[in-house]
Structure 1
Amino acid sequence: MDRRNFLLTPPIMALGTLAVPSLSLAAPLAIHSNTQLLPRTGKQKGPRIVICGGGWGGMTSARYLRELIPNADVILLEKNPTFWSGPMSNKWLVDIVSTDFVNHDMIHPANKYGYTLVNTEVIGFDRDKKRVQTAQGSVDYDYLILSGGIRNAYDAWFGNDLYAAEYTRKHFPNAYIPNAEMFALKNKLNAFKGGTIVMTLPPPPHRCPPSPYERACLMAWHIKKNNIPGKIIILDPKPKIGPIGEGYKAAFEELYPDIITHVPNAVVKEVDPFNKHIKTAAGDFDFDDAVLMPPHQASDMVWYADLIGKDASGKPTGWADMHPRLFTANTDDNVYIVGDSMGFISDQFGHYPKSGHVAHAVAKIVAQNIYERTSGKEVKAVLPDNLCYMMVNGDPQEEISVKFEYELDATGKVLQTQIDMDVRSADLVQEDFNWIKSRFNDFL
């Protein structure tokens, strides 16, 4: 079966007619594989660039493509009605920032920067015809950007047992894909009266590597502040936290010694959400409530486009097969991958951190590269950096931070050249808010 085409014929929508006294309204046309959502008019002289996914990467690339290529027809496809930021969402869980701080209108930036926003779900691709299939019809493109984030790979735990996967998502949401699960998790935290919360961490690479530890700290702060008799057990598949481990270890031991227990090498072997039991390589654990994060993989759209990489044995890596410097798909240089779906980059460090900062930086680079291609200029390989701030205490507010820098060696390979870390400090809080506001101002 051709994976590029297997989703190109969605079920016909069942649309009835509406009868009104003295007025007859015809039913909308049924959507099928030949329905064109945005047919070209012939008046457009520039390239058509379709962006799938309206998160940090998608909205940033849309803004800069319109700025760099004014005659381009830039179309952003996003199924969610509003933009919801992953960065700062942990602070939102414990009411340090408001909903309006992380949840934003998408129509205003589309109108401001001049790109077309369509709220629809991407359900397939025909790359030979350069066509995206959506729930509302197909859209042709000259260049395609996939910026759909991640998928929760519950199948790694449950195989084909969709009921167990949906039960887990519904009862123990991890809220790593905006935005409905975030409200569910916040409501659960506010209703928590005590007991043991287990938090499973995905194996690397996963979305925003330090954020689960930040979430644990802020949930622990909520428990501590409200005198709730609760504990949090972090089941970490890694042997240690990573570059920022000392900062988090100090927070666990100094701020929440009676609340947080960090268990390393806790690779998940079996999850029983019905009986609230987890088996890991570090032992078995029962829980009263949980934040169950399965392994992360590239978003569904990268799978639909048949652009997932393979390892030496031929098995899917779960992430995009892409050029490590130019961000194009290795099998189709008219397709770019931006943000968390990006695949293997370097033998030294593996993947870029799957963070909002990296998504924003790569989106600007990709916009510049498409401009260079369409204007006949040399395409220059530019690398991002990464910067993450993590709040570990709510009163007084204190944060830690980490910054990574990258460069090309003499052979053209991408290397991580510097890691800067800051210990827990109140001064970093203002830096964090300055950073997020500058990014929001840039694409929102």
Structure 2
Amino acid sequence: PALKSRDAQNRILHAWKAGPQTVALRKQLEAMRDGGVYVLHIPMAPYRCPPGPYERVCQVADYFKRAKPRSKILVLDSNPDITSKKGLFLQSWNGVYKGMIDYRPNSEITDVDVKGMTVKLQFENVKGDVLNVVPPQRAGDIALKAGLITANQRWCGIDWLTSESTAVKGIHVLGDATLAAPAMPKSASMANQHGKICAGAVVALLKDRPVFSTPVIMNACYSFVDGRTAMHVTSVHKYDPAQKTMVPVKGAGGVSDKASEEEGTFGWGWAKNIWADTLS
């Protein structure tokens, strides 16, 4: 409840959307004393970019290792375990960042004390010098106001052949706002693929033609553990007419063995390509 106030939101950031808040979080970390504690709270899945919080931990650890070596990171995860690339992140946390990161699963937040810079959990209170609370997430207000949210008061059900809302005909929903198909992450790569299915379907519907009935889409996600080293996970999803949803293709996709500078190069290449493809 305390995070509903404007003052609290300015002091305890989510920084889950690139822009002023991520810049402000950087300034908070730069201003933090060496030996201070950065606290990151992760909401219960699903949320946008499953590996994102753990990648942030790595990036902050990389900065602390270079600039504030006495500082620590406390990760309060609402989930029972690391939700994405667990083994790969633990390689870094127990390797180059050994001793810097305290990971605590099943740590769901109940409130914050802004003046005391304290996160209140169900069974304990945790103090920090910089608090970064990523809140539970849902489809945007526009989806709520349009009556598109159908599941758990959070997500929008869609027809996976057209991306058309199951609640309101003629409106198409993409990306993070959707009620995800089995094992489908809320990622930029998936949103890009959703857009292509939707565009093709809209053209077909406008021309009174049948939509493509067997779409296959893929997800790729790179996570950087420092400024140059990264690892990836990929998956492939196809439409199952019996279940009327997208399902993962067994044996397709994969995950890195370890983070490397070579994968960091691949990661930047992937990013530039998807930016060009999505924004052109």
Question: Which of residues 137, 142, 149 is equivalent to 1:308?
Answer: 149
Q: Does 1:434 align with 2:269?
A: yes
In structure 2, the residue matched to 1:345 is: 181
5+ long unaligned stretches in structure 1: 1-157
Give runs of aligned pairs for residues 10-409 of structure 1, distance below 5 A.
158=1, 162-163=4-5, 166-194=6-34, 195-281=36-122, 283-311=124-152, 316=153, 318-346=154-182, 349=183, 352-381=184-213, 382-394=215-227, 397-409=228-240
Distance between the aligned counterparts of 2:75 and 2:122, measured in 1? Answer: 14
- For the aligned residue pairs, the C-alpha RMSD in angstroms reads 2.0
Q: Distance in 2 between matches of 1:246 and 1:436?
A: 23
How big is each residue's C-alpha offset from its partner over 1:229-277, in whole Å with a ceiling of 9 and x where there is no partner?
2111111112221341000011101011221111111122332223222
SS of aligned partner of 2:270:
helix
Task: Quote the offset at 1:329 in angstroms.
Answer: 0.7
Distance 1:413 1:364, change over 3 A: closer
Residues 385 and 281 of structure 1: CA distance in aligned 2, closer, same or farther (over 3 Å): farther
Q: How high is the TM-score relative to the length of structure 2?
A: 0.90
**Partner SS, residue 407 of structure 1:** strand
Over the matched positions of the two proteins, sequence identity in percent amounts to 23
Q: What secondary structure does 2:24 align onto?
A: helix
Q: Secondary structure at the match of 2:204?
A: helix
Instruction: Answer with 1 or 2: which has the greater Rg.
Output: 1
Q: The residue matched to 1:337 in structure 2 has which SS?
A: coil
1:301-331: CA deviation from partner (whole Å, max 9, x where unpaired): 11111111144xxxx2x11132244311112
Whether the 8 Å contact between 2:160 and 2:239 is mirrored in structure 1 is no
- Greater helix share, structure number: 2
Question: Structure 1 residues 301 and 239 mapped into 2: Cα distance closer, same or farther (>3 Å)?
Answer: same
How far apart in 2 are the matches of 1:331 and 1:433?
A: 38
| Separation (CA, whole Å) in 1 of partners of 2:163 and 2:122 | 36
Report how far residue 404 of structure 1 moved: 1.5
- For residues 230 and 247 of structure 1, the distance between their equivalents in structure 2, rounded to whole angstroms, comes to 23
Deviations 1:374-403 (A, max 9, x none): 122211242432111001123xx2111111
- Which of the two has greater strand per residue? 1
Distance, in Å, in 2 between the alignment partners of 1:308 and 1:360 is 21
Aligned partners of 2:259, 2:122: CA distance in 1, in Å? 31
TM-score with structure 1 length normalisation?
0.58
Letter in structure 2 aligned against 1:403: T
How far apart in 1 are the matches of 2:13 and 2:68? Answer: 24
Give, as a single letter, the amino acid of the residue that structure 1 aligns with 2:165.
Answer: A
